[in-house]
């Protein structure tokens, strides 16, 4: 079983994130960059499938040089090798362009299963499985809280409000995973040391046969016009409960005509 | 007037149109004349076309086939793309559910168009407003290629009736093999709730680590029920096993934007703020006066939630 797991490096969602006022793109250089948290569940799931079925796990990432850290993290968890698509012309690419690049890179790999996190914590679009399914013509098994491989069929439980949908499709397929699917392993010391020696192949747009004029900020299908910080909220009212906290709370709701 | 296609999102099992559809019809009117698109099992449109007309649908396209619900997402995207090809609308507006965003993505590839997800407002010139990075940054964006496709975040727009003809127009459905790969074999409801759906509710009461146990979430539920509210939970509460994951509000859970958000025993980590920051009015109840949630709160009570919450529930019930 050849498994490809998609990994994105993002600004840490636990610290302040910014857009770069010079071109309205995500300010990555100044950010505390980490592996997209949701991708760790995808990596864990890919490793679990490999452990059950045999095969190889390849990490695929599109991103600047710094994304190497996210790739090493995936390798230290146990993935076997990696492909890193890096090219200055990619700066400012949108989800559509990134999906075209990932599709081209996947076209140069052998895969039975592609796994990705259900969302990136920076853009929060939750669309990469759908985009790649559309581009590659392989089935979309997205939003999984459970994945089972039975022969040449992949089955998921797609998380829904208050339950799930059982969805199945023939391999090759693309699966996206929520954080309900597993508990990602921590890289062991041995894993971290081994990761340093695992092969990471770097590919440019030219290597993928993609015209630089098709990607990047200037050629995106949508543009950010401007942005601004959320206006700060006015100082709220704060009361200390001295037996009258509930009364004051309900009084506030009444003043707002909520009760 | 320019035609705007609005994809209709339905409640399960004959439950009519979702409020998000009426919001999308309302938002679409800023751009032109909305046409509603029903892509569903046979016999669906008949039960919903009146409400679509009431909220401004001049035309109701009816694409019905038993195959639509048999497969995941792809059939709806394919039918919608076919309609975009035939009608050349000025834009497409889709409710921003997980499925809605995936349909938008596939439609964007099929029609070589740009798409913007989770928009909170659409201006007459097509400029969309989005709240990025946990609602900290307000972004204005525009689609520059193809037919602009927007997914509209729930509770961002107040649905307003604007009666229109709602003329039915049949659309033939013939799916490609590519759209019939991921088969939905079962739809399972694990938690039946009489409470409003989290992302649609106008009031949400959420509990955090401070609630301290799964059993004690009953006081959160009781307050929610007294207010007719949905129940939410912080990640800390979900990770501690106090409440199911499908009720999680925050970065890795649901994003809500209700009229009133009550955060009980929630410290207000960025992870949580990401999911509720755009709520209109925020109330926090927490025993720690330094909890960051108070920075967001319009009204805060520093106190023991086990005393304040049941007393408030009692008083709200007494006022009815």
The H or E element that residue B120 is part of is strand B115-122
pLDDT on residue B220: 98
CA angle B193, B247, B202 (to 5 degrees): 75
Residues of chain A positioned with their CB less than 8 A from the CB of B179? none
Check the CA dihedral A43-A44-A50-A56 and report its sign. positive
Report yes or no: B86 at the A interface, CB cutoff 8 Å.
no
Nearest to B189 among A162, A229, A246 (CB): A162
Q: How far is CA B16 from CA B65, B119, B127, B152, B167, in A?
A: 17, 24, 30, 19, 18
Are A178 and A38 within 8 A, CB to CB? yes
- Whether the CB-CB separation of B266 and B206 falls below 8 Å is answered with yes
B199-218 pLDDT per residue, tens: 889 999 999 999 999 999 99
Residue A172, preceding peptide bond in cis (omega within 30° of 0)? yes
Q: What is the pTM of this model?
A: 0.94
For B299, which of A131, A159, A237 is closest by C-beta distance?
A237
With the C-alpha atoms ordered B67, B10, B124, B258, is the resulting torsion angle positive or negative?
negative
Q: Do A95 and B105 touch (CB under 8 A)?
A: yes
Could you tell me which residue, B37 or B133, shows the higher pLDDT? B37
- Per-residue confidence (pLDDT) for residue A232, from 0 to 100: 78
What is d(CA B143, CA A121) in angstroms, rounded to the nearest whole number? 22
How high does pLDDT run on average in chain B? 96
- Taking each continuous run of H as one helix and of E as one strand, the counts in chain B are 9, 15
> How far apart, in whole angstroms, are the C-alpha atoms of residue A4 and residue A57?
6
Determine which helix (DSSP H) or strand (DSSP E) holds B187, and give its type and residue range. strand B183-189
Per run of 10 residues, the mean pLDDT along chain A (length 259 residues) is: 98 89 91 95 98 97 97 98 98 97 98 97 95 98 98 97 94 97 97 97 98 96 94 86 96 93
pLDDT class for B191, splitting at 50, 70, 90? confident
| Model confidence at B192: pLDDT above 80 | no
What integer is the mean pLDDT of B132-148? 94
Q: Is a pLDDT exceeding 90 seen at residue B193?
A: no
Give chain B's radius of gyration (CA, Å). Answer: 21
Contact yes or no for B182 and A139 at CB 8 A: yes
Encode pLDDT of A82-111 as tens digits: 999 999 999 999 999 999 999 999 999 999
What gap in Å lies between CA A135 and CA A117, rounded to an integer?
Answer: 18
Our CA-based measurement puts residue A246 at a distance from the nearest CA of chain B, in whole angstroms, of 5
A180 reaches B (C-beta below 8 A)? yes
Banded pLDDT at B271 (limits 50, 70, 90) = confident
């Amino acid at each position: 079983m050849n498994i490809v797991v998609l990994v994105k490096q993002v600004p840490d969602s636990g610290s302040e994130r910014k857009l770069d006022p010079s071109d309205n793109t995500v300010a990555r250089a100044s950010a505390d960059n980490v592996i997209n948290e949701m991708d760790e569940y995808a990596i864990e799931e890919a490793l679990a499938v490999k452990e059950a079925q045999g095969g190889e796990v390849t990490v695929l990432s599109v991103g600047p040089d710094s994304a190497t850290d996210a790739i090493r993290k995936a390798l230290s968890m146990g993935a076997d090798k990696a492909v890193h698509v890096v090219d200055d012309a990619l700066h400012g690419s949108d989800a559509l362009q990134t999906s075209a690049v990932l599709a081209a890179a996947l076209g140069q790999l052998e895969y039975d299963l592609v796994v990705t996190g259900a969302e990136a914590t920076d853009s929060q679009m939750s669309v990469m499985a759908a985009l790649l399914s559309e581009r590659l013509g392989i089935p979309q098994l997205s939003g999984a809280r459970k994945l089972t491989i039975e022969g040449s069929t992949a089955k998921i439980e797609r998380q829904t409000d208050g339950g799930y949908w059982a969805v199945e499709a023939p391999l090759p397929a693309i699966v996206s995973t929520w954080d309900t699917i597993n508990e990602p392993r921590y890289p062991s010391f041995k894993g971290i040391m081994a990761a340093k020696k695992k092969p990471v192949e770097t590919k440019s747009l030219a290597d993928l046969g993609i015209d630089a004029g098709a990607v990047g900020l200037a050629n995106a299908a949508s543009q950010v016009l401007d942005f601004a910080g959320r206006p700060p909220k006015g100082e709220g009212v704060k009361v200390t409960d001295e037996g009258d906290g509930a009364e004051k709370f309900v009084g506030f709701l009444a003043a707002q005509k909520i009760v | 007037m320019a035609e705007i296609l609005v994809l209709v999102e339905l409640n399960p099992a004959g439950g009519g149109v979702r409020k998000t559809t009426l919001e999308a019809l309302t938002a679409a009117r800023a751009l032109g004349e909305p046409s509603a698109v029903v892509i569903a099992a046979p016999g669906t449109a008949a039960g919903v076309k009146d409400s679509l007309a009431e909220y401004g649908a001049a035309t109701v396209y009816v694409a019905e086939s038993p195959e639509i619900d048999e497969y995941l997402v792809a059939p709806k995207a394919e039918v919608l793309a076919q309609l975009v090809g035939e009608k050349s609308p000025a834009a497409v507006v889709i409710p921003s559910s997980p499925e809605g965003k995936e349909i938008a993505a596939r439609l964007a590839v099929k029609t070589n168009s740009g798409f913007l997800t989770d928009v909170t407002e659409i201006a007459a010139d097509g400029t969309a407003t989005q709240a990025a990075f946990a609602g900290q940054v307000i972004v204005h964006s525009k689609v520059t290629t193809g037919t602009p496709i927007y997914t509209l975040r729930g509770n961002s727009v107040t649905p307003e009736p604007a009666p229109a003809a709602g003329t039915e127009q049949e659309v033939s459905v013939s799916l490609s093999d590519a759209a019939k790969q991921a088969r939905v074999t079962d739809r399972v409801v694990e938690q039946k709730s009489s409470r409003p759906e989290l992302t649609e509710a106008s009031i949400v009461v959420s509990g955090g680590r401070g609630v301290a146990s799964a059993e004690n979430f009953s006081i959160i539920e009781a307050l929610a029920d007294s207010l007719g509210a949905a129940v939410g939970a912080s990640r800390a509460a979900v990770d501690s096993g106090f409440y199911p994951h499908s009720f999680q509000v925050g970065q890795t859970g649901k994003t809500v934007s209700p009229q009133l958000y009550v955060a009980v025993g929630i410290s207000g980590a960025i992870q949580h703020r990401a999911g509720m920051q755009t709520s209109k009015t925020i109330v926090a109840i927490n025993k720690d006066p330094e909890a960051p949630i108070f920075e967001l709160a319009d009204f805060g009570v520093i106190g023991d939630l086990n005393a304040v919450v049941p007393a408030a529930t009692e008083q709200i019930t007494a006022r009815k």
